[in-house]
């Protein structure tokens, strides 16, 4: 397995099932830390719109709720699922995790360590920090929370990654 790939990580679904990110092999991914009580929470709908724009492509959005910033994700488990469905989520939403600091989930430790991921060092500064991952599972870019998921900057990069061969 490629050590610079996110496919080596397991994550937990909202119902407690552990899955490998290798389930998303050969797809372009946008990985986002979310929160239900944040000023950026309307981006949940923007993420759904982005998913719709690429519904016929090998593209997926992976949402990871986190309470790391301003305690803006007070919900747990099923409550997160209901909230996200009400917000229009048409993409996988995983169990709540830590995304920064010494207790960060291994996936987010990987994103924060250029030596590990081979590309960049980026630690979320707030909710809705986005990481773009290519079909081989390599992180290629990141976007700060104020960059809307439907921005041309993100859409064009997704299109380029979708057109690239593996």
CATH at residue 154: 3.40.30.10
**pLDDT above 60 (res 70):** yes
Whether residue 103 is contained in a domain is answered as: yes
Whether residue 121 is contained in a domain is answered as: yes
Whether residue 1 is contained in a domain is answered as: no
Q: What is the pLDDT of residues 17-38, one digit of tens each?
A: 999 999 999 999 999 999 999 9
The reply to whether 84 belongs to the active site is no
Query: Judging by DSSP bridges, how do beta strands 130-133 and 139-143 pair with one another?
Result: antiparallel
DSSP string for residues in 62-92: EEEE--TTTT-----HHHHHHHHHHTT--S-
Prediction pTM value? 0.96
What's the confidence (pLDDT) of residue 102? 92
Whether residue 21 is contained in a domain is answered as: yes
What's the confidence (pLDDT) of residue 166? 59
Domain that holds residue 24: 6-163
Residue of 30, 38, 50, 61 marked catalytic:
38
Domains held by the chain: number: 1
Q: What is the pLDDT of residues 119-128, one digit of tens each?
A: 999 999 999 9
Whether residue 120 is contained in a domain is answered as: yes
Residues of the chain with pLDDT > 90: what percent?
Answer: 89
């Amino acid at each position: 397995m490629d050590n610079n790939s996110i496919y080596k990580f397991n994550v937990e679904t909202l119902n407690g099932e552990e899955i490998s990110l290798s389930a998303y092999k050969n797809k372009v991914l946008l990985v986002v830390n979310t929160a239900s009580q944040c000023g950026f929470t309307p981006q949940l709908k923007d993420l759904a719109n982005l998913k719709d724009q690429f519904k016929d492509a090998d593209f997926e959005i992976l949402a990871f709720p986190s309470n790391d910033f301003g305690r803006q994700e007070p919900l747990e488990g099923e409550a997160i699922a209901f909230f996200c469905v009400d917000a229009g989520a048409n993409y996988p939403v995983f169990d709540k995790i830590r995304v920064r600091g010494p207790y960060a989930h291994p996936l987010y430790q990987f994103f924060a360590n250029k030596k590990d991921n081979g590309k960049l060092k980026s630690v979320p500064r707030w909710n809705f920090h986005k990481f773009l991952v290519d079909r081989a599972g390599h992180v290629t870019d990141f976007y700060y929370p104020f960059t809307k998921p439907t921005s041309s900057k993100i859409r064009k990069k997704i299109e380029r990654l979708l057109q690239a061969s593996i």
